[in-house]
């Protein structure tokens, strides 16, 4: 589902469902398609989950205000959503 809140500052929550046990990754990208932060990469059982993003990159530095995308891949299922960070 869509992250909440959106726009956000300083933290947003991404809720998602894994329909069947599978490898899952949840990654944030900037508008140029560069990976900003890997929020999750591992194996999950079928269930509901939530992950928070605090507007930092993989190095722990704060990212700039702007539009970001997150991509969730769970097995064969892939979806992307847009989110806005306002500092």
pTM assigned to the model: 0.95
Q: Is 60's pLDDT higher than 90? A: yes
Give yes or no for a contact between 79 and 2, defined as CB atoms under 8 angstroms apart. Answer: no
Q: Is 56's pLDDT higher than 90? A: yes
Could you read off the pLDDT of 38-52 as tens digits, one per residue?
Answer: 999 999 999 999 999
**Cα separation of 10 and 47, whole Å?**
27
Query: Per-residue confidence at 5, pLDDT binned at 50, 70, 90?
Result: very high
Q: Is 11's pLDDT higher than 90? A: yes
Mean pLDDT taken over the chain: 97
Q: What residues have CB less than 8 Å from 24, skipping those under 6 apart?
A: 18, 40, 41, 42, 43, 44, 72, 73, 74, 75
Give yes or no for a contact between 87 and 65, defined as CB atoms under 8 angstroms apart. Answer: yes
Give yes or no for a contact between 21 and 47, defined as CB atoms under 8 angstroms apart. Answer: no
Q: Is 1's pLDDT higher than 90? A: no
Q: Which residue has the tokens 């939530």?
A: 50
């Amino acid at each position: 589902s869509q992250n909440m809140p959106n726009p956000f500052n300083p933290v947003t929550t991404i809720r998602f469902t894994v329909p069947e046990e599978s490898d899952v990754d949840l990654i944030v990208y900037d508008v140029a398609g560069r990976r900003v932060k890997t929020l999750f990469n591992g194996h999950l059982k079928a269930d509901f989950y939530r992950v928070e993003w605090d507007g930092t990159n993989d190095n722990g530095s704060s990212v700039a205000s702007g539009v970001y995308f997150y991509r969730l891949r769970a097995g064969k299922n892939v979806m992307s959503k847009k989110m806005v960070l306002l500092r």
